[in-house]
Every structure is written in structure tokens, then in C-alpha cells.
Structure 1
Amino acid sequence: MIILELKIGKSEWIFLFLCMVLGIVAEEAFFRAEIGISYLVFITAFYGLFFYRYRGFSFAHQRFGYLVLICIWLLAAGYFINDNSYFFALNILVIPGLVFFHLILITSQKNIRWNKSAFITYMLSKLWLAIKYNFQFLSQLGTYFKQGVDESKFLVWKKVLIGILISVPVLFVVLGLLISADSQFERMLGGIPQWFQMLDGEVIFRIMIVLFYTFVFFGLMQALIKKQINVIIHDDKQKFTLDGIITLTFLVLINVVYVLFTIVQFKYFFSGTLQGDFTYAEYARKGFFELLFVTLINLTITILVLTYESKSTGYIKRIIQSQLTILVISSGVLLSSAFMRLSMYEEAYGFTFIRVMAHSFMIFLVVIFMYTLVKIWMEKLSLFHFYFISALLYYTLMNVINVEQIIVTNNLERYEQNGKVDIHYLNSLSHTGVLGLIDLYKVTPELPGLKDILIERKNEANISHISWQSYNLKRIQANDELRKLQIQ
């Protein structure tokens, strides 16, 4: 149950104006050109307005809040420092989600635990509260402007406005069809006064975007700072449980399979010998994804048992813990095997974004499994708390370190060793790949196809114009190197 008091005063009008300015900044940052430094500019403006509105506010969960805030800034800075299209696309959703989570986290009550499932419900209630606040504000705004106006006349104008709003989208479609159907009608519309033709559809669209952002910022920040009465029911009673005997039987059977598989891995893979007609690269390609998928299944099983097992006691509990330990160790062997398979596959076919990310994800899983192993014997530890923070740090780190630079460096080293390199894949990367091709050209200018690619890239650099929104260090560096490159 949430009770929200709404009063429109001078401070609300000032803050609404500031939110409109922030809405203009958002439109300029995201809808004018390719995103670059503009995301960092927007985040700076957004949190500047937020901390101005919440000056003197007593924030909760400050240490974890600072961690999330640092990650948000680093992810936003990635648009300026690096140039990775994969992360750029993901961060369109990740950064706004983290910002929303951060605002709810630090403005919540101090006794609310963010690592519980009830916090998701709490976040959704705050989102609904922000939407409700905007409707209440607009309703009171209408009441404010209605003062001193005859009720019947106000109702008429209200209905006229609603009719106009309903007719506009229909008229756009109908007029477009009629103009296409009859040239005479099109010429007749050409005689409409010039002032009417100034209603550019793009301008209207941008105004709508600004207003949308304005009320998103205004509603959310205003709703969170208002006095509220929150009734949160903490239901710590576990409704679903796993029987100890059934769980133990299941773990024993599945661990037998994993122990046999581990023996096979040590016999063939870790010993450096293979049987049959498989090469190492073929063997790696054959089993990598299967092993990784099984590892994720094992992690899911371990989490479910730790969460829902019916808290057996005595020797049953110890045996279950031992079986979970075997499961985690077996998962480590699977990860090692998958890691080695992928390494051999990269040696045979080169390094790509997906392969390097798969390597990094397996290292992340090792960290997760190590913590889970400790959790098996120390029950008071929180799994979700560690998983969330480690996943956030892992994702932020992969954004910051420039994965594409690792790909380029390793592919160039591989070329020095065996003379094999996929220049077309390097060209498909961002400007980091272009810088790698330039380095490759300086060493081996006669490489087939390389000269043509760099000439095309140089021509693009010579005619390119980078707006302030798209300013990116890698893009600027690559264009400068291309312009200086002596190639005909």
C-alpha cells in the first residue's frame, strides 16, 4: 500500500523546467547522431539534476550504491573510450536498467534488502508510482488552468482537443494515401499556406521525444522523494522444498556419470593424446558448447539444492554437501576441458569476439563455482548477493578492457607464427580492427586484399564528419592513422 501526497508549488515548476532541459539534452545525445561521448554527457547531466533534487536526502545502501554508480559511469564512458558495437547495443538496455536500480536502491528504506526477490516487486511498485504521479500532476495541471473558466466552455475545448489528438494519426495515413492516389489532390495541397507546411514531421517527433523524457525524469524523481507509506510483507517461509533422500539419490547418480567423464578427459585430453580420426581442432569444435551447457546445468542444480533442500541434518546433510562438492569439482574439470578445446580451436581458426567472450565467461564461471563451493559448507553466505555483484563487475570489466584489442593482438601474433590471418574479419570489427590492419600493412603490405581494404577505409575517413555526439577516441585515432597512411 502506497500513499502519495501531491502538491504543485514553485519548486515543482522549477524542477519540471529542469527536467525539460534534461529531456532536450537526452534528445540531443541519443537521436541526433551515433552515440559517443554524448552518453557520458547525458549521464553527467542526469546525475547532476538527481543529486540537486535530492540534496540533503539521507541515502540508503551507500557503499553498494557507489559501486553501482561507478559501474554506470564506466559503462557510459565506454561509448567514448572504446568502439564495440556488441556492447554498445547491449548497453542501450543495461545502463538504463542499472540507473533505475541505483535510484531505487539508494532512495529505499534502509531496512529493505536488495538481494531478496521482494526487491523486484518493490522496484515495480516504484515504477508504477512514477507513472501514477505523472497522471496526477497532469490532472492537477488541468484543474489549475481551468480556474476562472466557465465549466461548459472548458468541457467543449477539452473535447475539441481530444478530437484533434485522435484525428492527427488518422489524417497522416489518409492524406498520404490520397496524395499517392491523385496528383490533382496533391497539387491542391501544394497551395496550402507556407506556414502550415512548416509543420515538419521530424520536428514534431523530436518534440514528442523531449516531452517523453521530461515526464519520465520528472515523474520518477518526484515520486521517489515524496513522503510515502510502504507496507512490505517479508515472507521468509520457504514454500517449496526438496526431500533430502531424493536429492541425495539424484546427486549420487549424476556424479557417477561425471566421474566417468572426468576419467575419459584425463585419459584423452589432458594426457595430450587422442584416439580415432579426430584432430584437436575437430575434437574441440565437437564438444565445446556441450560441455559449457552441461556446466551451466550443474550450476543450476547446485543453486537449486542449496536454496530448496529441506535442511537435512546429521549424516544425510554431510553426504549431500560432499556430493555437491564432487559436482562442483566435476564442473571445474568440464570447464577446464572446454577452455582447452576452445584454445585449440582458436589456434586452428583464429580469435573472434564470441570465442574471446566465451573464454572470459568461463573464467567468470570459475569464480562463481569457487564461491559456490565455499557456500556449500558455509550456509550463511548469500549466493545472489555475490552473483549479482560479480556479474556486474565482470560485465563492466569486459566493457572497459577493450575486448577487440585482445582479438586484434592475438590474431596478429598468430599471423607471425603461422602466416594465417582473416583480414576481412578484422575489417568487420570496429576502428580497433582498422588500427590492427594498419599495423599489419606496415609489416606486410603485399598481403592480398589488404591494400584495397585500407584504401576504401582511407577514403571513408577523408570524407567523414564526426559530430560532437559521436566523438570517440578509437574512431578519432583510426581516422588520423588512415589519413597519415601512405597508400595508393
Structure 2
Amino acid sequence: MQENTAVQETNSINQEQISGQNVVRVVEKTETVETKRLQEHYNFFGPVTFLYAVFYAFCMFRNGSGITFPFFLAGTLLYFVFSLSKLEITLKKGSAFYMISILLLGVSTFCTDGWAIIGLNKLAVFLLVMCLLLNQYFDTKKWNLGKYVGSICQLVVMSFGELGKPFSDGKAYFREKGKVNKKVWYGLLGVVIALPILLIAAGLLSSADAVFRKMTTDFMNWIRPDNIFNVVIRVTFLFFTSYALTSYLCKRSIPEEVKDRRKGEPVLAITIMSLLSLLYLLFSGIQIFGLFLGKMQLPEGYTYAQYAREGFFQLLAVSILNLILVLMCLSFFRESRILKVIMTIMSLCTFIMIASSVMRMIIYIRYYYLTFLRIFVLWMLAVLFVMFIGVLINIYRESFPLFRYGVVMVTVLYLALSFSHPDYIIARVNIANAPGGDFSYLSDLSADAAPVIIPYMESLGYDFGAYELENPTDIMSEDTQAQWWGSYQPKGFGYYYLNHNKKRLDQTSLRTFNISRYMARKQIEARIDGK
């Protein structure tokens, strides 16, 4: 803990007369050193938070995955660091991991066009930012998953109570400092006078230069009520939420201690876990001899391929259930050697289930086709594998930082998934397995798949001039469109792919620039120019 000791201040004692009796009511208000500094430096936090909100609106307005996204995240971290500096809080070493991971996710978002990865990236950024804030303002070394989840929920919900702080802090600041500096009023007056002069000058320059005239015309076309409303909402939202988050964190209202809840009778856990472990041992034996070694007689009517191609989602669900059960035993039941042995057996059986699920999924993909959900299942199984390694260590070493281990491993694994461009992998695997691949699924993939799909379309003799049409599928005759019924028709899916991505690929402004969309557009244009 740094210099964050709460300073207790008791306001004036109020006396009220109720039914002829004097009732003394003491109103207490708790402030921290950081709360006072936040108010004292309102001349920094107010304007800088507003500029940060404007920067957010510029970067993110109708632009969820452009080049400005990593810049917005970098600006967020700069705002965070400068805020800590003004509050005289030293940046912790552990915060560097969160900050680097956030920046990498920003780069990943700028490099991909897959909507699923973009959405997951933003969720991951939110969670990492919350963990970064909690790690910086509180001593989180002994916190577990439940404590973190509860604290994130408390931080988000309770910050709504601080939405009025920009007004109250500003009022208190200016009351203490006296009248607003005359230079501020002169600055505002200058803005009012400059506006009509700017409009006149812009009109004259527009008539003098065609390029400038096009730029100003595009800008004026952009200034529509819906756009202005959108920007105002974005600026207002981020200004108040950012200030409110900082204000609530400065109060340090989240208790740092983690209560020891391991008071449950181990016999209860031993009974439940032992019965499950016996079931898992039987199931694991079947997997070893039946699936891995192929030495067990299969049910009548089943081939080995049919046997191997089912059950991976169920095994994933059981593996997640096992992780929850083991964590609950570690969190709520008293220490017991027998319980440790049973949890170890359950964990080892879960490793076999994970391996079985992975093997089944890979065999299934060979026979059918790849989707994002199936890639995500494989990723989830990898996460469960590394998490159970940490759990096994934690069973026998209580001081092992399981949550921090989990955060690091899940973040690293997710970064690998995020940078892998799953849509590219899907297209490559499905086209390699053609004609067994689902071409209707391929037609809905993002620009990430273009390095595989565009050359494949060229090999099939597609007319890339269709891209220049408003709707590329218009090049297809009515008979061809009627014949293209989906899954197993390679001829035709490419026009739907072009149509699906055309609008996003045409977003070529500097602000919305995206590497994946740029590379896809270049590949298409090269085919058009080469006609």
C-alpha cells in the first residue's frame, strides 16, 4: 500500500428538534489522500479527461477495427499513467504485463477483419483494463478469481454513483481558487469571434482549390444531426465514465483482504469427488483402450471414425465442470490429504478427457469442415489444460498464485489465437478438403481469408470485374443463382464472398485503414487490372 491512508473528516454536528427533543445527527464523510488530490488538480483532470473523450470519439466513431484503435488504447494508457502521476501513485511492476497485452490486442484488432476476434479482443481489453486498475490501486497479491470478479463488478456498478463528481469537484475547485482566470474568458471569446471568420475563409479557400473544396464538401456532408449526436454521446459517455472510475478508485472502497472461506467439512467434498472420480476413472480407461489404442470392441453399427467424431462438446463441458469443482474444493473446504489425492485423480482424468476431446475434434474436422466455433473449442481445451497444471500445483502448494498464473497463461494463449487469423485457417483447411468443405460458410468469412479464397476463385475462373458492381452477385444469371444452393457448390460462392466484404473493403480512409482489408482489396484489384 502506498500513501493512501483514509483521512476521516467529521462534518458539523446537526441538531434537529423532533417531538420536543433534540436529536444529534453526526454526518461522516470519508476521504482519502487521492480523493483530495483529484479535486485539487481538477484543472488537470477536467480538461485532460475531456480531451481523452474527444480523442476516443475521433478514433472509434464508426470505426471499430481501424488503425486508430491501437492509438486509442495507447492514449488510454497515457491518460492512465498521467493520472497516476498527478495522484502521486507509483506505477507498479505488475502493471507492465497488462499494458503490453492491451497494446498487443490493439495491434491484433488493426490487423484482422474477423468480427468474432474483434469482439473478443475488445472484451479482453476491457477485462485487462479492469485488472490493471485494480492491480494499481489495491494490493491484489492474494486475490483469487472470485475476489477479482466481485471487485470488477463493484467497480463498474459503484462508479455510477460518481457520475456527478466532475460537477462537484469543479465547483469545489473554482470556489477555492476564486474567480475563473480572465485568460479563460478571453480564450472562449476568441473562439466565438473566430468561428464566423473561419467559415468565410473556408468558403474562399474552397473556391480557390479543387482538392480543398472536395475535402471541405466531404466534411460538410459528414456534419449531419445523426453524426453530431453520435459524437456528442460518445464524448459525454467517456468523459463521465472515465472521471467516475478514477473518482471511485481514489476512494479505495474495495476491501483488500480476502476472507478465508475454507470452513467446509472435507468429508462432504471427499464423498462427492470420490464418486465422480470413480466414474471418471472408468471413462478414462475406455478412452485409453478404445479411442487411443483402438483395442476395445465398439457398439454394433459403429465404425471407428463414427465413434471418434462425437462427444467433444460434452467432454469440454465436463472438463469445465471439473475445473469449477476442484476450485470450489480449494476455496471452501478445510485442508485434507485424502481430498488432495482425490482432486489429483480428478485432474489427471480431466487431462485424459481433454486429450480425447482434442482427438475427436481433429478427426471430425478431417471428415467435415472447420468453423470458428471448432477452433474456439480447441483453444478452450488448451486453456483448460494449462489451468489444470496450475490447479495441480496449487493443490500441494497453497502459496502458488493461481489467479495470476491463470491471467498470464490465458492472456498469452488468447494473443496467439487473436494473431492467428482464424478465418484464414478455416479457408485454408476447408478449401484443401474441397469438395467436402461448406462453401456457403466460406462466403461469409472476413477479409482475413482473402489470401486463400481469392487465388482459389481465380483457379475456378471467376470474373473479378464483378467487384466493381454495386452488388457483385448481380453478375450471376438467375439460373446460376437458383442452382447455387449453398454447401457444396464452389462455383458461385466467390461472388457472395465479394458481396459480403465489399462495403468494408471500400473503407479506405486513413482513419479506418485496416491491414487485412487493405491486403484483400489489393489482391482483388490485381486480378481486375490483370484482365
- TM-score, shorter chain, exceeding 0.5: yes
Instruction: Give the distance between the partners of 1:395 and 1:59, measured in 2 at CA.
Output: 30
Instruction: Give the distance between the partners of 2:72 and 2:165, measured in 1 at CA.
Output: 28
Q: AA paired with 2:402?
A: L
Instruction: Give a deviation string over 1:235-287, Cα, whole Å, max 9, x none.
Output: 5342641x233333333322222222222223322223644212345334432
1:375 touches 1:381 (CA, 8 Å); kept in 2?
yes
For residue 106 of structure 2, the aligned residue among 43, 55, 76 is: 76
For residue 100 of structure 1, the aligned residue among 118, 123, 130 is: 130
Q: 1:478 to 1:246 in 2, by over 3 A?
A: same
2:111 touches 2:516 (CA, 8 Å); kept in 1?
yes
Instruction: Give the distance between the partners of 1:475 and 1:432, measured in 2 at CA.
Output: 7
Instruction: Give a deviation string over 1:90-124, Cα, whole Å, max 9, x none.
Output: 33433233223313322x14576444755556556
Instruction: Give the distance between the partners of 1:142 and 1:403, measured in 2 at CA.
Output: 52
Q: AA paired with 2:294?
A: G
2:423 touches 2:448 (CA, 8 Å); kept in 1?
yes
Correspondence for 1:476: 518
Correspondence for 1:238: 261
Q: 1:439 to 1:320 in 2, by over 3 A?
A: same
Correspondence for 1:401: 420
Instruction: Give the distance between the partners of 1:423 and 1:301, measured in 2 at CA.
Output: 41
Q: Is 1:53 equivalent to 2:53 in the alignment?
A: no
Q: AA paired with 1:358?
A: V
Identify which range, 475-484 or 111-120, moves more after superposition.
111-120
Q: Counterpart of 2:399 in 1: which secondary structure?
A: coil
1:281 touches 1:341 (CA, 8 Å); kept in 2?
no
Correspondence for 2:241: 216
Q: CA deviation at 1:367?
A: 1.5
For residue 293 of structure 1, the aligned residue among 293, 310, 317 is: 317
Q: 1:134 to 1:265 in 2, by over 3 A?
A: closer
Correspondence for 1:207: 232
Q: AA paired with 1:333?
A: I
Q: CA deviation at 1:433?
A: 2.1
Instruction: Give the distance between the partners of 2:144 and 2:401, measured in 1 at CA.
Output: 8
Match runs of 1:330-369 below 5 Å:
330-369=349-388
Q: CA deviation at 1:201?
A: 5.1
Instruction: Give a deviation string over 1:352-401, Cα, whole Å, max 9, x none.
Output: 11111211221221222222223223333233232233222222221122
Match runs of 1:377-392 below 5 Å:
377-392=396-411
Correspondence for 1:310: 334
Correspondence for 2:93: 63
Q: 1:344 to 1:15 in 2, by over 3 A?
A: same
Identify which range, 333-342 or 59-68, moves more after superposition.
59-68
Correspondence for 2:287: 265
Q: AA paired with 2:318?
A: V
Instruction: Give the distance between the partners of 1:201 and 1:481, measured in 2 at CA.
Output: 35
Instruction: Give a deviation string over 1:165-204, Cα, whole Å, max 9, x none.
Output: xxxxxxxxxxxxxxxxxxxxxxxxxxxxxxxxx9935424
Correspondence for 1:423: 439
Q: CA deviation at 1:474?
A: 0.8
Answer 1 or 2: which has greater helix percent: 1
Q: AA paired with 1:481?
A: Q
Q: 1:382 to 1:266 in 2, by over 3 A?
A: same
Q: AA paired with 1:234?
A: E
1:83 touches 1:474 (CA, 8 Å); kept in 2?
yes
Report the TM-score when normalising by structure 1.
0.75
Instruction: Give the distance between the partners of 1:281 and 1:85, measured in 2 at CA.
Output: 33
Instruction: Give the distance between the partners of 1:251 and 1:8, measured in 2 at CA.
Output: 51
Q: CA deviation at 1:473?
A: 0.7
2:163 touches 2:244 (CA, 8 Å); kept in 1?
yes
Query: Any unmatched runs of 5+ in structure 2?
Result: 1-5, 7-29, 180-222, 463-483
Q: CA deviation at 1:7?
A: 7.8
Q: CA deviation at 1:37?
A: 1.6
Instruction: Give the distance between the partners of 1:233 and 1:110, measured in 2 at CA.
Output: 6
Give RMSD over aligned pairs: 3.6
Instruction: Give the distance between the partners of 1:34 and 1:237, measured in 2 at CA.
Output: 43
Instruction: Give the distance between the partners of 1:53 and 1:233, measured in 2 at CA.
Output: 22
Instruction: Give a deviation string over 1:389-446, Cα, whole Å, max 9, x none.
Output: 322222222112222222223234334xxx5333322221111223321132344548
Correspondence for 2:31: 3
Correspondence for 2:276: 254
Q: AA paired with 2:325?
A: I
Correspondence for 2:202: none
Report the TM-score when normalising by structure 2.
0.70
2:166 touches 2:240 (CA, 8 Å); kept in 1?
no
2:507 touches 2:513 (CA, 8 Å); kept in 1?
no
Q: 1:112 to 1:382 in 2, by over 3 A?
A: closer
2:330 touches 2:395 (CA, 8 Å); kept in 1?
yes
Correspondence for 2:74: 44
Correspondence for 1:189: none
1:368 touches 1:387 (CA, 8 Å); kept in 2?
yes
Q: CA deviation at 1:81?
A: 0.9
Correspondence for 1:410: 429
User: Of the two structures, which has the highest relative contact order with CA contacts closer than 8 Å and spacing of 6 or more?
Assistant: 1
Q: Counterpart of 2:511 in 1: which secondary structure?
A: helix
Q: AA paired with 1:348?
A: Y
Q: CA deviation at 1:26?
A: 1.3
Correspondence for 1:434: 450
Correspondence for 1:192: none
Q: 1:355 to 1:280 in 2, by over 3 A?
A: farther
Instruction: Give the distance between the partners of 1:248 and 1:334, measured in 2 at CA.
Output: 21
Instruction: Give the distance between the partners of 1:229 and 1:34, measured in 2 at CA.
Output: 33
Q: AA paired with 1:3?
A: E
Instruction: Give the distance between the partners of 1:259 and 1:43, measured in 2 at CA.
Output: 48
Query: Any unmatched runs of 5+ in structure 1?
Result: 149-197
Instruction: Give the distance between the partners of 2:148 and 2:280, measured in 1 at CA.
Output: 37
Instruction: Give the distance between the partners of 1:408 and 1:134, measured in 2 at CA.
Output: 47
Q: AA paired with 1:290?
A: Q
2:424 touches 2:451 (CA, 8 Å); kept in 1?
no
Instruction: Give the distance between the partners of 1:236 and 1:8, measured in 2 at CA.
Output: 31
Instruction: Give a deviation string over 1:309-354, Cα, whole Å, max 9, x none.
Output: 3223xxxx1x333222221121111112111111111111111111
Q: CA deviation at 1:80?
A: 0.8
Q: AA paired with 2:512?
A: S
For residue 52 of structure 2, the aligned residue among 22, 27, 44 is: 22
Q: 1:377 to 1:405 in 2, by over 3 A?
A: same
